[in-house]
Structure 1
Amino acid sequence: MEIRKGVLLSLLALGAPTWAQTCQPSAVTPYLNINGTTSWVVKSSASLNTGSKVVLGPQPFNGTWSWSGCGASGSSREQTLKLTATCTATATFTNSCGAKTVQPYTFTVWPAPEANAGRYIMVDQFGYLPNRKKVAVLRFPIVGYDRNEWYWPGNTIQVVNAANGSVVFTGPVAEWQGGNTDSSSGDRTWSLDFSSVTTPGTYEIVDVDRNLRSARFEIGDNVYRNVLIQAVRMFYYQRLGQAKSVANAGANWADGASNLGAGQDPQARRFLDKNNASTARDLRGGWADAGDFNKYTSWEAGYAQELMDAYVQNPAVFTDDFNIPESYNGIPDILDEAKWGLDYLKRLQNSDGSVLSIVGVGGASPPSADTGPSYYGDVNTSATLAVAAAFAEGAKVLGSLNNAALNTYAADLLQRAKNAYNWAVANPNVIFRNNEGATAGLGVGQQETDDAGRQSLRLAAAIKLFAATGDATYRAYVDAHYMESRMFTYWDVSGFSAGDARTMLYYAALPGATQSVATDIRTRFLDLMGRPDYDNWGAIDAQRDPYRAQIGSYTWSSNSVKANAGTLYTEESYYGISRHTPDQDANAAADYLHYLHGVNPFGKVYLTNMYSFGAENSVNQIWHTWFFDGTAWDNAKTSTYGPAPGYLVGGPAYNVWDWDGGCPSVSSKCGSTRPTPPYGQPPQKSYLDFNDGWPLNSWSIAEPSNGYQVAYIRLLARFVK
């Protein structure tokens, strides 16, 4: 009987069609994209906060798909899931011959944080690198809106593995300054150094006696990579004249190209001659500057340079897969972004080399809804010098990529840079002030500068042109005027003047720089960084800030000042001139990053809508034309979409915010009293996560800016692989 069965089976096999004998399952590659706004990665598992979104896009593209688990269903290859519990999504791929391949995606979903998690125990909510210093700050609020709350550390403070509950570290806390209350925060604090914990994983700090926890955080060798991608992509969302597709922007922030209609950017007219059609210029492109959508030339030129600087210092970090329209073109995406800005600046330049000062744009929510006209301001010396520097740097950086098309582009930029510089030298005092007098209504911020500002811009342009050309004429100008920089005239090296200091250090490191001048620059920089009465190494040595990120004052854009201050330590290390060890430099800089990521009195990640990327308490609202109060993009927690992820908000501003002078009677929107915070608070608590317009006027603390963003990108990139 068994022999007969074997013969029959053999005959059946011999008679089977060829496809049935050769059909084999196909290999499946499991791609996923966190939030639909980051790069696609080959990965089949992830740990995420509850409510996080993930897009699954396994390959190949042909064949058919079916899904189950985690809310996945249907036959679409791409699945967008909102995860609320640990689960496994299973994709089944059927190829053209009928063979099936099963690909699971496994997600660990962390539950919503407890009510007081992260309120008294502050950590970097994205995490820490294994071999870097790790310090949590514990706080007892004494002064400010939260002064009636009580916290005193218990006897047992632990670092706990969030996945399995195991205790990996128990340590004592150190009291800050003998129990004094910090005047900048109004808090009495303690610190917990858990640097010895280096094993990758997800952790929490737990006060066992008080039953309180920190936010969760990761330890891993590249914990900030997705954060950096979001931070750089902010510029993509800020682009004007750029369609934002679902594939690139994510479904929540997809929008048509803005400001390309009749009378808009492609037909912008001169503001001082609005009715003259012959003044129309094609000024499409560029970036909305901040919460307002105007395009200020000097600042746009600065943003392009800072993006290129970040690349030059960290070329391996900036890959070609940040999910912008230019991704996978062989050029690092951060340079594609810089080129978007350079393309726009080229449109502003006249044949004589001069450059227009500003383009005024109305803005709307979403941006494609804007139908208002665009107007430009006249040329001025300051914009022309700023653009000369940007073009010179673009020529050097883009020309170094061994790309034939970019070589031609770079050569054009270099000639444009020379033309702009020459025009500015011949016309050193051409002034154009926007939004005052006859120009009232053109832009919001004042882009014009003073004599010292123009001198600083010329010095920077000469440095960038010397770097690009090696022409001794530019070096001679630098050597004759370097002592007019802020380091020398004001004895200033701080987060408020970091851009000036970075440019001078760049010159000092150039081949061919005059060595006596280079030595002068480096010596002055290091002397000022090391002064005990300054806010740099002296503040670290004295432990002046319990939150470990000292700045001199909390003014408008304090978060940008923090980021810039952090870069000063990375510059020491990058140029190899530090009087400290590489670990000391890195730890000092990282503390400013940790402040922005949650080691602050609010336990707030000062970036928008980062819940899908590890934050438990990130910024929900910003003052921004697109993400304005009452729109579908208003609030990351309560509105339909929330703001796009990764925008750095301005942050605490001491004695800067106030409601309209007519409040409370001028409008019911005032309420009966000023909100506290931000009003009447210690400097570090002078912030509120809100985005109200008039009469509560949130912009002094709640507005983002491309300038804040590039400072943060420069700092963050130093800690990313």
Structure 2
Amino acid sequence: MSTIRRLLAISVCTSVLAACGGGGGGGGSTSVPNNPPPPPPPPPPQSSARIEGDGPFLVVDQFGYRTDMEKIAVIRNPVTGFDADDLIDPADEYLVVDEATGTTVLTVLPTEWNGGASHSGSGDEAWWLDFSAVTAPGTYTIRDSEDLVVSASFEIGDDVYDDVLKAALKVMFYQRAGFAKDAAYVGTGWADGASHVGPGQDTEARLYSAPGDASTERDLHGGWYDAGDYNKYTNWTADYVISLLTSYMERPAIWTDDVGIPESGNGIPDILDEVKWGLDWLIRMQNADGSVLSIVGLDGASPPSAATGPSTYGPESSSATLTTAAAFALASEVYGGLGDATLSTYAADLEQRAEEAWDWAVANPDVTFRNNDSAMGSQGLGAGQQEVSDEARAEKKLSAAIYLAHATGESGYHDYVTANYSASKMVGSFYINGFEANSQRDLLFYTSVSGANPTVATTILDRYETAMAGSNELWQAVDGEIDPYRAYLGAYTWGSNAVKSRTGMLYVQQASYGLGTQSVDAAMAAGAGYIHYLHGVNPLGLVYLSNMAAEGAKKSVDTFYHTWFSDGSALWDSVSGSTYGPAPGFLVGGANPSYDWDSCCPTGCGSAANNNQCGITPPAPPAGQPTQKSYLQFNDGWPLNSWQVTENSNGYQTDYIRLLSKYVD
């Protein structure tokens, strides 16, 4: 129970009794009685030898734990990083307390992580508190006997994530472009009119290279703001559609019709209503020849309805067309199976569109378009680069063939998969990680498609199982207890929270497909570690979702980069400093050790006022920190560029939704 800085405050004193004798000032002597009193008893065990600083020192999943879950809280003692002056010497035992009754239901002894070593990825020493034995539903805290360290309160129950999942899904509604957010659905704080439907905007969008040519006008309204910017990217939107459809297909019974969007109560699960909003936009993006436009660039303002600038679009590309073909094909199967006549007609149209997109992409395999690229003359169109590499485009073609084989049953698509699946990283290189999640998901899906080549299916499953066991970033990291926060990543980058969700899904997929030597419970526990990290079991004790106090979070994201919830907004800048703060449920990017301020800083940003925004050195955190502490709650735009750390993305959101849904009944 010691650390290199633990203080032992126990002292042992020895008493010597002296007797003074003789009258008349005669000499004295020292004597010891024949029956000396017993020595004083040792002091009782201390709750904590020492605490300095604000912590947090004891982190938990602030939403809680399912009754049957493994439940492990983390005590953390910072050694390096911005909080290195904080200090805890853990108590000998901790109490799990029922908040309703004040009763201690379990006493837990801390288990030292890795022999007391400091973890380089977080800069912390750590101890684990395993309270899995607590299964009774209720509200709890964990504390030492003197209440020097008390965790955030949390729930135990089988419905602890239900409302969190609804809030996460509702984020997609907040992100809708061209759709009014009425107060009846979002409250007064985030009510706003339909955005980007004025003159020259989405209903009259023009080709980026011919903004003065009215003959290029297209009605491209709808879709979702992609992230903290309002641009709409076909490749990514189609990916979000596939991810949400997959979430539905994997657990159709959990999806409700009461999320609180205008379509709620129509008899269709709200997740499918939301997906249809994205699909309808993709339909508008498709040309008559089957090809699909790549991007629509939108103006920014806060709130979104205040934007008045024009909307422009980029041309068709092979990658956008292939990703859309995959989305249409998968959607045709889902909506065609709902037993609704109107949606069955819709599904048939989607299937035809998917095949037309495939045919165009086969005939035009190498058509690319790079937005926001001076070499293409597209600077200012969008923000992130939606075009992909040749290798990634081949992966997209394989995925499109997989979903078309599922939708149509035609042998040509199966033949394409058989001829090309071995070129994928997972099959060809036994390579699995959270960065390649989409292609791995799609290959696993193919193993259950009717008519799949049995050898192909067996090989895919074998590669997945072998790669999971053989990677030092997956089961070896779990078994070796490499990460004290129990959500190991081999690398942290921009958007690390998305990779957390995707990596958690790797274990869940193993359980779902019956692979590996580990039990289903072990695989699900490994996946849940990534949920707990996002919910507060991290060095910051931060729930990486925005404004979630209403769902039980003690410390959730206060501010993040988003054009709507902009820096300095009196209404939406932050939960703590503005009237409403950002809307709830947005998953932010997460720890990013590669963060840097703009290259113009500190003295070359064009004016003294701009330079003053830089400060003297990059903000630390996120700069100069252990990996998992490379995060700061800020939403500054240029030149501090907080979007590298705190911006949301629909990709982060849909990955999180998929993982969380596996822990909801």
State the one-letter code of the partner of 2:512.
Y
Output aligned runs, 1:404-483, within 5 Å: 404-437=341-374, 438-483=377-422
Within 1, Cα distance between the matches of 2:615 and 2:55?
29
Corresponding residue for 1:573?
511
Instruction: Say which one has the larger Rg.
Output: 2
**Deviations along 1:123-168, whole A, 9 cap, x unmatched?**
0000000111000010000110111111121112111112222111
- 2:122 is equivalent to residue 185 of structure 1: yes
SS in 1 for 2:105: strand
1:548 is the counterpart of 2:486: yes
How far apart are the structure 2 equivalents of 1:166 and 1:673?
50
Amino acid at match of 1:508: T
Q: What is the CA-CA distance between 1:671 and the residue it aligns to?
A: 2.6
For 1:356 and 1:171, the matched residues in 2 are separated by: 58
Q: Is the 8 A contact 1:462 1:477 kept in 2?
A: yes
Match of residue 487, structure 1, among 426, 431, 434: 426
Alignment of 1:587 with 2:531, yes or no, is no
Q: 1:603 and 1:588 mapped to 2: Cα distance?
A: 20
Give the secondary structure class of the aligned counterpart of 2:136.
coil
Look up the equivalent residue of 1:446 and give its one-letter code.
Q
- Residues 197-223 of structure 1 show CA distances to partners (whole Å, capped at 9, x for unaligned) of 001111111022561111110001110
The correspondence for 1:625, drawn from 563, 566, 581, is: 563
Residue 92 of structure 2 corresponds to which residue in structure 1?
155
Counterpart of 2:283? Answer: 346
Question: Is the Cα contact below 8 Å between 1:117 and 1:215 reproduced in 2?
Answer: no
- Residue 199 of structure 2, aligned match among 262, 265, 275: 262
Contact 2:110 2:127 in 1 (8 A): yes
2:645: which partner in 1?
701
Equivalent residue, structure 1, for 2:66:
129
Q: How far is the alpha carbon of 1:431 from its aligned partner?
A: 1.2
SS of residue paired to 2:142? strand
Query: 1:262 deviation in Å?
Result: 0.6
Partner of 1:8: none
- Which of 447, 451, 458 aligns to 1:512? It is 451
CA displacement at 1:451 relative to structure 2: 1.2
Provide the secondary structure at the position in 1 that maps to 2:338. Answer: coil
How far did residue 497 of structure 1 move?
1.3
Task: Tell me whether 1:634 sits opposite 2:573 in the alignment.
Answer: yes
Distance in structure 2 (CA, Å) of the matches to 1:649 and 1:302: 18
Q: Which residue of 1 aligns with 2:159?
A: 222
Match of 2:553 in 1: 615
Match of 1:680 in 2: 624
CA contact (8 A) 1:657 1:701 kept: no
State the AA in 2 paired with 1:566.
Answer: G
The match for 2:237 is 300
Task: Please name the residue that 1:3 is paired with.
Answer: none
Whole-angstrom distance in 2 between the partners of 1:364 and 1:556: 24
Across the two proteins, how many residue pairs are aligned to each other? Answer: 607
The answer to whether the 8 Å contact 2:297/2:311 transfers is yes
Q: Distance in 2 between matches of 1:711 and 1:583?
A: 21
Provide, for residues 562-617 of structure 1, a one-character-per-residue CA deviation record: whole Å limited to 9, x for no partner. Answer: 00000111111222234321211111111110000000000000000001100000
Shift of the 419–679 alpha-carbon distance from structure 1 to 2, 3 Å rule, reads same
Task: State yes or no: 1:661 paired with 2:605.
Answer: no
Q: Is the 8 A contact 1:320 1:328 kept in 2?
A: yes
CA contact (8 A) 1:155 1:209 kept: no
Is the counterpart of residue 198 in structure 1 residue 135 in structure 2?
yes
Q: Distance in 2 between matches of 1:210 and 1:577?
A: 45
Match of 1:358 among 295, 298, 305: 295
Give the structure 1 partner of residue 9 of structure 2. none
Q: CA deviation at 1:294?
A: 0.5
User: 1:436 Cα shift?
Assistant: 1.0
Partner of 1:90: none
Cα gap change, 1:210/1:155 in structure 2, threshold over 3 Å: closer, same or farther?
A: farther
Instruction: Give the TM-score normalised by the residue count of structure 2.
Output: 0.90
Q: Which residue of 2 aligns with 1:379?
A: 316
Q: Distance in 2 between matches of 1:394 and 1:174?
A: 48
Give the letter for the 1:718 counterpart.
K
Greater share of strand: 1
Distance in 2 of aligned mates of 1:654 and 1:490? 28
Structure 2 counterparts to residues 217-296 of structure 1, below 5 A = 217-296=154-233
CA contact (8 A) 2:318 2:367 kept: yes
Whole-angstrom distance in 1 between the partners of 2:438 and 2:541: 28
Q: Tell me the amino acid that sits aligned with residue 423 of structure 1.
A: W
Letter in 2 for 1:680: G
Written as runs of structure 1 = structure 2, the 5 A alignment for 1:24-103 is: none
Identity rate of aligned residues, in percent? 52
TM-score (structure 1 length as normaliser): 0.83
